[in-house]
Structure 1
Amino acid sequence: MILVTGATGTVGREVVRGLPAGPCVRVMSRDPAKAEGMFPRVRTVAGDYTDPPSLARALRGVHVAFLVTTRPDRDDDARFVSAARTAGVRRVVKLSAAAVLDDRADDLITGWQRANEELLRACGLQWTLLRPRAFMSNSLSWAAGIRSGRTVRALYGTSPNACVDPRDVAQVAVRALTEEGHAGRAYTLTGPQALTAVAQTRELGRLLDIPLRFEELTTDEARATLSGRCPPPVVEALLASAERQREGAKAQVEDTVRVVTGRPARSFRQWAQDHIEAFTSAPDETGTR
């Protein structure tokens, strides 16, 4: 039995889609109704990291688990790992971040991910770590500006990032969940080239066949934008991450996707072609397009 957490998120949903539908896959969600709507052929169970009995129910009979946590102010990883050990889970595949390898990265989010990795290594279970660079799908945050004013606004627009298609991260996760030989491995996952926000804007303009303008944000403007959706410590962590990107810390390209899956990592152009409708039509009231 394979358990997938974070199944309604960017990578988790692609992991579920990549696994064989049926009784051997289970999805854990705080909102089972939402997960059931997305994955009607997969069993969904209610589970919350802060609710030990729900974790025990979700993990019953599970041998391999995909672990996604998103709250740096919580001990969700520790709670899940403890419950997994009690339930007899054999291996945990953990979604981490490439920044953990950067000695200069000392922000809140990176420190939290490093601690989670250390916890998993020491827990006695088999483990596999996935360390993606930024997701190409982060550019979806530009969609409203492109639709309303043909403008992309971002911080440090000429700084390169070897961003990765979330589908490629998910495919590596599926391999780690379903195959032997991945225990004790840490996979750094990137796209095939490092791109700047200016270059991504240019690519989107070509695909949309419209002229797009890039507008550089100041640090204060970026802080104000982020503050609308993130608590202050997370905002400062994201700004520190952007500063490291400006210094070139995120430009290294790895061939891990091809090595693990046998297929080259997708380019930003491929990702954008598959999601171009998001930049041309607004979501409806249900959040779908």
Structure 2
Amino acid sequence: MILITGATGVVGRETVRLLVEGGAKVAAVTRDPHAELPAGTQLVHPAKVSALDSVEAVLLSPRAAGSTAVDLLAHARETGAARVVVLSAVTVQYPAGHARFRQQFHAVEDIAKGSGLDWTLLRCADFAANTLAWAGQIRATGTVRGAYPHARTSTVDERDIAAVAALALTHPQHRGQTYLLTGEESLSQPEKVAALGAALDRTLSFVEAAPDEIRRGMLAAGLPDEVPDRLLGSLADYAREAGPTTDTVRRLLGRPARSYATWAQDHHAAFTAGGTR
């Protein structure tokens, strides 16, 4: 059985789907007893993970596992697990944004390395799904307001991360490897908005706003301080120096990484009046 933490997140959910379709038994850690996951997936409340005794591998999401990561991996090892795959961030290797956020990822990587399990680290660029935060603005006005328009990142499709995660969870030859997962093209925010416009067959625009204005808007929308801190801190640095671009997805999966334009086309419904993903 493969244990997936963060199973209802954009990477975890897709990883569950791929593993189940591949014939694996999957236990998905979630607080939602009605989570919509593939048939045959075992739903496990975080408080009940210690009752599992047949886990072979673990997908560790730092945000989902949090302070329980040490105990979770210790229990997994005691009950026969062999592997842990960690969802980490490119900022561990290419610092950007506030140090405390990359230190959190680095700490979880260290926990995995010290767990006694074979480990694989997936250091990911910003997810394409992060731009779903623009959906409301695009539906309402066709304009995205944002800070640091010149910031450039090689956004990665979360489905590609999941495909690599499923590979590493089921194939031992990936043990001890650190993979930097990005898309293959460096894009600014206005270029991403243009790609969404092409997918929607609609003219969209990006309007630069001061970082403080964006922060106030995010806080007014009820988001915790951590969210604008993560976003604006990283964008400020990426405006000075673009984030990394790799061909790791291509090398591991034998095909190109999905482009942001492809992601936009596949998710265009989220940006239309109905808002269905």
* TM-score under structure 1 length normalisation: 0.88
Aligned-pair identity (%): 39
Contact 2:151 2:242 in 1 (8 A): no
Q: How large is the RMSD of aligned CA atoms in angstroms?
A: 2.0
Contact 2:5 2:64 in 1 (8 A): no
State the secondary structure of the residue aligned to 2:195: helix
Q: 1:105: how far off?
A: 5.2
State the secondary structure of the residue aligned to 1:65: strand
Supply the distance in 2 between the matched residues of 1:280 and 1:61 (Cα, whole angstroms). Answer: 44
* Cα distance change of structure 1 residues 147 and 137 upon mapping to structure 2, 3 Å threshold: same
Q: 1:20: how far off?
A: 3.2
Aligned to 1:6: 6
Q: 1:65: how far off?
A: 1.2
AA at the equivalent of 2:107: A
Supply the distance in 2 between the matched residues of 1:23 and 1:96 (Cα, whole angstroms). Answer: 24
AA at the equivalent of 2:61: V
State the secondary structure of the residue aligned to 2:62: coil
Choose from 249, 252, 258 the match for 1:257.
249
Aligned to 2:50: 56
Choose from 155, 172, 179 the match for 1:180.
172
Choose from 42, 45, 50 the match for 1:44.
42
Supply the distance in 2 between the matched residues of 1:32 and 1:195 (Cα, whole angstroms). Answer: 39
Supply the distance in 1 between the matched residues of 2:194 and 2:200 (Cα, whole angstroms). Answer: 10
Aligned to 2:200: 208
* Cα distance change of structure 1 residues 104 and 267 upon mapping to structure 2, 3 Å threshold: closer
Residue 69 of structure 1 pairs with residue 68 of structure 2: no
AA at the equivalent of 1:55: V
1:1-289 correspondence runs (5 A): 1-21=1-21, 24-34=25-35, 37-39=36-38, 41-48=39-46, 51=47, 54-57=48-51, 59-70=52-63, 74-103=66-95, 106-227=98-219, 228-250=221-243, 252-283=244-275
Contact 1:109 1:234 in 2 (8 A): no
Supply the distance in 2 between the matched residues of 1:249 and 1:212 (Cα, whole angstroms). Answer: 24
Supply the distance in 1 between the matched residues of 2:203 and 2:19 (Cα, whole angstroms). Answer: 40
Q: 1:108: how far off?
A: 2.1
Supply the distance in 2 between the matched residues of 1:248 and 1:279 (Cα, whole angstroms). Answer: 29
Contact 2:200 2:265 in 1 (8 A): no
Supply the distance in 2 between the matched residues of 1:131 and 1:183 (Cα, whole angstroms). Answer: 15
AA at the equivalent of 1:63: E
- Shifted more, 163-172 versus 107-116: the winner is 107-116
AA at the equivalent of 1:19: L
- Per-residue CA deviation, residues 212-261 of structure 1 (Å, 9 max, x unaligned), is 121112111121233244433554343222211112141x2101001111
**Which sections of structure 1, spanning at least 5 residues, go unmatched?**
none
- Per-residue CA deviation, residues 135-155 of structure 1 (Å, 9 max, x unaligned), is 111111111111110111222
Q: 1:131: how far off?
A: 0.9
Supply the distance in 2 between the matched residues of 1:238 and 1:270 (Cα, whole angstroms). Answer: 23
Runs of 4+ aligned structure 1 residues displaced above 6 Å come to none
State the secondary structure of the residue aligned to 2:20: coil
Q: 1:166: how far off?
A: 0.4
